[in-house]
């Protein structure tokens, strides 16, 4: 059985999964497509609607059969609330997610950081990546309970009382951002509720402690919050700022620095989320803006192909022949990037001692010479290849005459955002 950490993921076997959260908790689920939105209220699985196609809720457990989900469904997000609606999760034991497969075989366990004042928690998601289904641990809390979660996922919620006033929201933010991007020749972005939720959580942590930081006091990086919010990405970026009083001032500030301006203009981003939270004593606003492109199998293929093309352009500049794409090397490279995210490490040697040539052989490669480049944090193929070329050891691999083939893998969701792997063979 795998012990998962926030952002960790696990391939799932075929068949029906059983999910339990022992203790004084109610389990619910949301069925969504790649946009992260439900197609209607019928995609909300809870005590008043315990059965939908592919999912069934009983008093003891939630069962999910990915093959039986409605057409277009690609994700099931599992959430918990206190059995007593008036009790914050912080007063209860930390919920533990237990997942078993066909025949009752234990697959995974996940206990998130203990919530505080939150009244609902996104625990995990079962999601499709290509033709496979995987489990990802989340741990994103909501202070508004099921109503806040349902609203962010597109479920219609009617409440008698209006929610309390919040810090200045993104009024006019999207229009201003897209105007600035258009002037720079970049395509427009759209707002995404999951990115906004992750931005809100990170801004709240910074404001509570009066500290601008990419890692929160709860140990989660801003990139891990994106994953914990249920957003799988191909690339991600952020702005962390304090001081501006309005979204307009925030955007103006982001235009003043070369790196922050490049993030604002980045053509790869298609979605964004913005939040600001006031410091409880000074009233200063702490801002988090998140920028991303959601994961897709086609997008992954395009990105890895671009890394190969840029690598071969560097070789061509030195009079070397191009490296040919290699399926076993690509499979091993992708598996290593996924593993670094899932098991929270960054190394050529995996926690169980596996080395690049071991991974290549396990994937079916018969290449006699193996080399590997890894990187984390870079946001585009151009950035990662440029970084490798600026490092003597990585540059030597790219320009090694003996190498004839190349596989590339990348995965998002770890502390540093994107994790890249090049696996060379000759």
3-state secondary structure 218-262: CCCEHHHHHHHCCCCEEEEEEEEEECCCCHHHHHHHHCCCHHHHH
| Residue 412: pLDDT over 60 | yes
Task: Report the first-to-last Cα separation within the chain, whole angstroms.
Answer: 37
The tokens for 1 are: 């059985």
* CB within 8 Å of 98: residues ≥ 6 apart: 19, 20, 21, 22, 106, 108, 109
Burial class of residue 201 (count of CB atoms within 10 Å of its CB; 0-12, 13-18, 19+): buried
Helix (H) or strand (E) run with residue 205 in it: helix 193-209
Q: Judge contact between 353 and 344, C-beta under 8 A.
A: no
Q: Where are the alpha helices (DSSP H) in 266-349?
A: 297-317, 327-342
Give me the pLDDT at residue 163, please.
Answer: 35
Give me the pLDDT at residue 164, please.
Answer: 33
**Percent of the chain residues past pLDDT 70, beyond the cut:** 93
Give me the pLDDT at residue 151, please.
Answer: 67
**pLDDT-based confidence at 94, cuts 50/70/90?**
confident
Mean pLDDT is lowest, of 56-70, 75-89, 123-137, 355-369, for: 75-89
Identify the residue with better confidence: 85 or 39: 39
Q: Judge contact between 14 and 103, C-beta under 8 A.
A: no
**pLDDT-based confidence at 269, cuts 50/70/90?**
very high
Across the range 408-415, mean pLDDT stands at 91
Backbone angles phi, psi at 206, to 5 degrees: -65, -45
Give me the pLDDT at residue 388, please.
Answer: 97
CA distance 329 to 325: 8
Question: DSSP assignment of 338-382, as one string?
Answer: HHHHHTT--SSS-TT---HHHHHHHTT---S-EEEEEEES--SHH
Place of tokens 């590997």: 372
**What DSSP character marks residue 323?**
P
Residue 168, CA distances (Å) to 171, 180, 244, 249, 278 in order: 8, 21, 11, 12, 9
Residue 147, CA distances (Å) to 15, 28, 143, 154, 406 in order: 31, 12, 10, 11, 48
CA distance 392 to 112: 40
Residue 388, CA distances (Å) to 199, 258, 420 in order: 30, 21, 11
Beta strand segments in 55-188, E: 55-57, 62-64, 75-82, 97-100, 106-110, 120-129, 132-142
Mean pLDDT (the chain) is 88
Give me the pLDDT at residue 380, please.
Answer: 92
- Mapping DSSP to helix (H, G, I), strand (E, B) and coil, where does residue 415 land? coil
**pLDDT-based confidence at 348, cuts 50/70/90?**
very high
- Structure confidence by residue, pLDDT tens digits, 125-152: 999 988 899 999 988 877 666 666 766 7
- Structure confidence by residue, pLDDT tens digits, 224-263: 999 888 888 999 999 999 989 999 999 999 999 898 999 9
**Percent of the chain residues past pLDDT 90, beyond the cut:** 64
- Structure confidence by residue, pLDDT tens digits, 158-210: 443 333 333 344 668 999 999 999 999 999 999 998 899 999 999 999 999 99
CA distance 91 to 344: 29
Helix (H) or strand (E) run with residue 425 in it: strand 417-425
Give me the pLDDT at residue 150, please.
Answer: 67
Give me the pLDDT at residue 152, please.
Answer: 72
Dihedral of CA atoms 141, 142, 147, 148 in degrees, nearest 10, equals: -110
Give me the pLDDT at residue 46, please.
Answer: 83
- Nearest C-alpha neighbor of 421 from the set 384, 395, 396, 392: 384
- Nearest C-alpha neighbor of 96 from the set 23, 163, 2, 34: 23
Across the range 4-20, mean pLDDT stands at 90
């Amino acid at each position: 059985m795998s012990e998962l950490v926030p952002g960790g993921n696990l391939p799932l076997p075929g068949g029906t999964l059983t999910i339990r959260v022992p203790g004084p908790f109610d389990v619910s689920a949301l069925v969504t497509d790649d946009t992260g939105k439900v197609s209607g209220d019928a995609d909300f699985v809870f005590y008043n609607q315990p059965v939908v196609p592919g999912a069934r809720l009983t008093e003891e457990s939630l069962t999910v059969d990915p093959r039986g989900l409605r057409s277009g469904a690609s994700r099931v997000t599992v959430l918990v609330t206190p059995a007593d609606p008036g009790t914050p999760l912080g007063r209860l034991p930390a919920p533990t997610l237990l997942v078993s497969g066909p025949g009752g075989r234990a697959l995974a366990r996940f206990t998130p950081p203990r919530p505080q004042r939150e009244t609902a928690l996104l625990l995990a998601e079962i999601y499709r990546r290509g033709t496979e289904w995987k489990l990802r641990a989340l741990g994103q809390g909501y202070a508004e309970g099921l109503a806040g979660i349902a609203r962010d996922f597109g479920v219609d919620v009617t409440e008698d009382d209006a929610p309390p006033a919040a810090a200045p929201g993104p009024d006019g933010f999207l229009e201003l951002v897209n105007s600035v991007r258009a002037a720079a020749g970049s395509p427009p972005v759209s707002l995404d509720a999951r990115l906004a939720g992750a931005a809100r959580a990170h801004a709240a942590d910074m404001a509570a402690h009066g500290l601008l930081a990419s890692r929160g006091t709860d140990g989660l990086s801003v990139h891990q919050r994106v994953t914990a919010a249920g957003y799988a990405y191909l690339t991600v970026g952020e702005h962390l700022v304090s001081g501006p009083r309005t979204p307009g001032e925030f955007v103006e500030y982001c235009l003043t620095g070369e790196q922050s301006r490049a993030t604002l203009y980045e053509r790869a981003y298609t979605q964004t989320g913005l939040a600001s939270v006031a410091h409880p004593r000074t009233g200063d606003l702490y801002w988090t803006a998140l920028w991303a492109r959601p994961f897709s199998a086609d997008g992954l293929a395009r990105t890895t192909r671009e890394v190969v093309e840029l690598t071969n352009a560097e070789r061509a500049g030195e009079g070397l022949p191009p490296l040919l794409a290699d399926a076993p090397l690509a499979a091993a490279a992708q598996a290593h990037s996924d593993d670094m995210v899932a098991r929270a490490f960054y190394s050529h040697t995996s926690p169980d001692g596996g080395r690049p040539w071991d991974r290549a052989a396990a994937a079916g490669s018969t290449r006699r010479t193996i080399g590997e480049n890894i990187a984390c944090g870079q946001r585009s193929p151009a950035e990662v290849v440029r970084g490798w070329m600026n490092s003597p050891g990585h540059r030597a691999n790219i320009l090694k005459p003996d190498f004839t083939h190349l596989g590339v893998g990348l995965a998002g969701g770890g502390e540093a955002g994107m994790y890249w792997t090049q696996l060379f063979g000759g």
